[in-house]
Amino acid sequence: MRGFDCRNNRLARRGLAADGFEDAVRSRIAHHGVRRVGVVLGTSTSGILSTELAYRQRAPEGGPLPAGLNYPGSHSTYSLADFVRTWLGIEGPAYVVSTACSSSAKAYAAAARLIHAGLIDAALVGGVDSLCFTTLHGFASLELTSPEPCRPYDAARSGISIGEAAAFGLLERATGSLDADAVLLLGCGESSDAYHMSSPHPEGLGAQLAMEGALAQAGLSPADIDYINLHGTATLNNDSAEGYAVASLFGTRVAASSTKGITGHTLGAAGALEISISAMALADGLLPGSVHTLNLDPTVPIDYVLASRSAPLRRVMSNSFGFGGSNCSVIIGRAG
Amino acid sequence: MNPEMSLSAWIEGIGLIAPGLPDWTHGAAVLAGLEAHVPAPSVLPAPMVLPPNERRRASRVVRVALASGLAALEQAGMEPSGVAAVFAASTADGHNCHALCETLASRDQRVSPTRFHNSLHNTPAGYWSIATGAMAASQSLCAYDASFAAGLIEALVQIHATAAPCVLIAYDAEYPEPLASLRPIPDAAGISLALRPEATPRSMARLDIRLGDGPATRLGSPSLEALRTAIPALRGLPLLEALASARGGELDLEYLAPLSLHVTLSPC
């Protein structure tokens, strides 16, 4: 961790080590060659906690920060991708996408474009966000944090529960012969609300554009989607805006739920985390229920899944929307 | 799949704001060696496209991003509302970050909602879409000192994927102390490129990029070379110098070691 030690990069290292991912990725890097692999990761606050803590050690009248604060290895937005690229010995293109809560969904979209354009053959993608005072007090200032575990799409929802996560995937160009359980990235759609810095468009116009874009890129129609993993933050505005957008595109024909009742809102990591959850849903044939949601908001006419149940799933859409009106919708599917 | 794989686009417009380079017209004359570079603080126009309240409060990163991006699109004759935008910066608003960290270190940790949403890396992108009405995809990325090249790659990859125009808006601004000691960026600066997948009568040059590993091309003038290395967004200045002198040719932009971004510029 020398040169990169901070809460966010430690979480990244734990995420890489989980589930045998790092060993599998190292063998694929060796296969493709270090310059043919890219790193595209999402984070909203990177390792800013290190700087926040350093400010607490300053003299009350100001003055320099304590020695030892390493800006490029912690606070810098790029620090996350820099650490992961260095840790794995990757020498291909890299950057961090930082578009608040859509960051790591957009990282998948961007990495797929890099592979498509032929610059690389594989990309380490994902997102990492960890607790810091900026988000804790920032969301509180907007009165968006819930006093209880968050209740997505509940009539009495009262805001988000902030979570931390590291979620990674390896994207590769699809080959001719694929295992039936292989997961394909079928399409991504991105849009901007052009409406407000910290509130979604009330009818979810930007969200709808992103979902339509993902369907168009995948060459699919709404009826082809079996489950939608919603952004579903449990704020009043998000769930109604997203709900209207989903209702107008899919009606009540497609099962949908938010899994943030289990994970909390992991901000810049949420997109990648929920793409991983969607991949697990495809693999296990499971519609994930919505933990902590008790009474559905009756004004949102969608087929919301309260309790987990088995269902054969072929294609899943995952939604991620961020402050600044940044929207991304990703569709993944089973190979067989 | 080919390591020599190159991506291309046509440059239709340029926005430039840098110390002693107030806009592309004057900057081009300086970069071409026709006028001397007289160091002066960057001039950041008020973003008239924002409503009065937001305009007054617009930070230096928002000002430099909006002004240079709009200048590039104006020269290109492109309507901002329909253009995908790639924002590349080494950091978010440094002054806002400092103020937030001071508040968060104080006894009363309450922060203002505006401070919070202005702390995001994609704040300029958010204001851009609100100001222009652009609902197209917008990207906000960071690669520390390599952010300009990373943004240029993303813009050309997007054009490859969509066959639609794209504007690259690369910008940076300074931190105040004490963060300035850790991350010294002397001033705000921005370079924007309005790009199209095909040539038009307005095209200034064809741009081809591929990954390389040559040393970064340096600028002849010591004061311009100092700017190139001091402000991450200005790592793109060698490209603008080649455009200004209309000589085109080959150059390497600083990217992530061991890579460079190799650029071939063919003037129209």
Check which CATH number belongs to the domain holding B142 and give it.
3.40.47.10
Q: Tell me whether A34 touches chain B (CB under 8 Å).
A: no
To probe the interface with A, which of B103, B120, B185 has the most A CB atoms within 10 Å? B120
Contact A55 B101 (CB under 8 A): yes
Q: Tell me whether B148 touches chain A (CB under 8 Å).
A: no
Between B38 and A336, residue with greater pLDDT: B38
Q: How many CB atoms lie within 10 A of CB B15?
A: 30
> Tokens for B198?
């095909």
Q: Is residue B48 part of a domain?
A: yes
> Which residue is associated with the tokens 């997203």?
A242
What is the C-alpha to C-alpha distance for residues A14 and A168, in angstroms, rounded to an integer?
Answer: 11
What is the C-alpha to C-alpha distance for residues A187 and B80, in angstroms, rounded to an integer?
Answer: 25
A-B CB pairs within 8 A amount to 210
φ, ψ (nearest 5 deg) of residue A268: -65, -15
Question: Could you report the per-residue pLDDT of B152-173, keeping only the tens digit for each?
Answer: 999 999 999 999 999 999 999 9
Q: Which fold has domain A7-334?
A: Peroxisomal Thiolase; Chain A, domain 1 (3.40.47)
Q: To the nearest whole number, what is the mean pLDDT of chain B?
A: 96
Contact B158 A113 (CB under 8 A): yes
Q: Is residue B188 part of a domain?
A: yes
Helix (H) or strand (E) holding A275: helix A270-284
Q: B166, B85 in Cβ contact below 8 A?
A: yes
Contact A113 B7 (CB under 8 A): no
What is the C-alpha to C-alpha distance for residues A214 and A208, in angstroms, rounded to an integer?
Answer: 10
Report the residue from A55, A91, A100 with minimal CB separation from B104: A55
> Which residue is associated with the tokens 């990954």?
B211
Q: Residue B43 belongs to what domain range?
A: 7-203
* Residue among B142, B147, B125, B165 nearest B10 (CA): B165
φ, ψ (nearest 5 deg) of residue A166: -125, 125
Given this model, what pLDDT does residue B4 score? Answer: 57
* Residue among A91, A133, A137, A95 nearest A113 (CA): A95
**Which residues in chain B are contacts of A209 at CB distance < 8 A?**
135
> How far does the CA of residue B177 sit from the closest CA of chain A (Å)?
8
Q: Tell me whether B116 touches chain A (CB under 8 Å).
A: yes
Report the residue from B1, B182, B183 with minimal CB separation from A121: B1
Q: Is residue B142 part of a domain?
A: yes
> Which residue is associated with the tokens 């103020």?
B99
* Residue among B234, B242, B263, B250 nearest B145 (CA): B234
> How far does the CA of residue A306 sit from the closest CA of chain B (Å)?
32
DSSP chain B: --TT--EEEEEEEEEEEBTTB-SHHHHHHHHTTSS-----PPP----TTS-HHHHHH--HHHHHHHHHHHHHHHHHT--GGG-EEEEE-SSS-HHHHHHHHHHHTSSS----HHHHHTTSTTHHHHHHHHHH---S-EEEEE-GGGHHHHHHHHHHHHHHHH-S-EEEEEEE-PPPTTHHHHS---S-EEEEEEEESS--TT--EEEEEEEE-PPPPPPSSHHHHHHHHHSGGGGGHHHHHHHHTT--EEEEEE-STT-EEEEEEEE-
Closest chain B residue to A85, measured at CA: B256
φ, ψ (nearest 5 deg) of residue A315: -140, 135
Q: Is residue B138 part of a domain?
A: yes
pTM of the model: 0.98
Question: Could you report the per-residue pLDDT of B44-53, keeping only the tens digit for each?
Answer: 999 999 999 8
Calculated CA dihedral for residues A176, A180, A183, A186, nearest 10 degrees: 60
Q: Is the pLDDT of residue B1 over 80?
A: no
Report the residue from A96, A121, A322 with minimal CB separation from B142: A96
Give me the number of domains chain B comprises.
Answer: 1
Report the residue from B121, B140, B256 with minimal CB separation from A94: B256
**A291, amino acid identity:** V
> How far does the CA of residue B97 sit from the closest CA of chain A (Å)?
9
Contact B121 A99 (CB under 8 A): yes
Helices B94-104 and A48-56: crossing angle in degrees, nearest 10, is 50
> Tokens for A233?
């933050």
What is the C-alpha to C-alpha distance for residues B22 and A65, in angstroms, rounded to an integer?
Answer: 34
Contact B150 A94 (CB under 8 A): yes
Q: How many CB atoms lie within 10 A of CB A117?
A: 18
Tell me the three state secondary structure of residue A322: strand
Report the residue from B112, B120, B143 with minimal CB separation from A141: B112
**Which residues in chain B are contacts of A94 at CB distance < 8 A?**
143, 150, 256
Question: Could you report the per-residue pLDDT of B70-122, keeping only the tens digit for each?
Answer: 999 999 999 999 999 999 999 999 999 999 999 999 999 999 999 999 999 99
Residue segments in chain A with a per-residue pLDDT below the cut of 70: none
To probe the interface with A, which of B121, B148, B153, B158 has the most A CB atoms within 10 Å? B121
What is the C-alpha to C-alpha distance for residues A47 and A329, in angstroms, rounded to an integer?
Answer: 26
* B40 Rama class: left (phi>0) / alpha (psi -120 to 50) / beta: beta
What is the C-alpha to C-alpha distance for residues A49 and B28, in angstroms, rounded to an integer?
Answer: 42
Report the residue from B113, B137, B182 with minimal CB separation from A191: B137
> How far does the CA of residue A218 sit from the closest CA of chain B (Å)?
13
Closest chain B residue to A195, measured at CA: B130
> Which residue is associated with the tokens 């240079």?
B68
Q: Is residue B246 part of a domain?
A: no
Helices A103-116 and B147-162: crossing angle in degrees, nearest 10, is 70
> How far does the CA of residue A284 sit from the closest CA of chain B (Å)?
33
What is the C-alpha to C-alpha distance for residues A287 and A308, in angstroms, rounded to an integer?
Answer: 5
Report the residue from B101, B112, B117 with minimal CB separation from A51: B101
Helix (H) or strand (E) holding A320: strand A315-322
Could you tell me the residue ranges of all domains in chain A? Answer: 7-334
Q: Is residue B250 part of a domain?
A: no
**Which residues in chain A are contacts of B129 at CB distance < 8 A?**
192-194, 324-325
By DSSP bridging, strand B138-142 and strand B84-88 are: parallel
Contact A118 B126 (CB under 8 A): no
> Tokens for A263?
């994970």
Helices B60-76 and B123-132: crossing angle in degrees, nearest 10, is 50
B3 pLDDT band, cuts 50/70/90, is: very low
Cα B184 from chain centre: 18
Closest chain A residue to B177, measured at CA: A64
A45 Cβ neighbours under 8 A, 6+ residues apart: A8, A129, A130, A132, A134, A135, A267, A268
Q: Is residue B243 part of a domain?
A: no
Task: Find residues 65-104 of chain B whose CB sits inside 8 Å of chain A.
Answer: 90-92, 97, 100-102, 104
* Residue among B65, B203, B38 nearest B124 (CA): B65
Closest chain B residue to A62, measured at CA: B178
Any idea what DSSP says for residue A335? -
Q: Tell me whether A133 touches chain B (CB under 8 Å).
A: yes
> Which residue is associated with the tokens 């020269």?
B75
Contact B138 A36 (CB under 8 A): no
Given this model, what pLDDT does residue A175 score? Answer: 83
What is the C-alpha to C-alpha distance for residues B216 and B123, in angstroms, rounded to an integer?
Answer: 30
Q: A120, A38 in Cβ contact below 8 A?
A: yes
Mean pLDDT of B19-40: 97
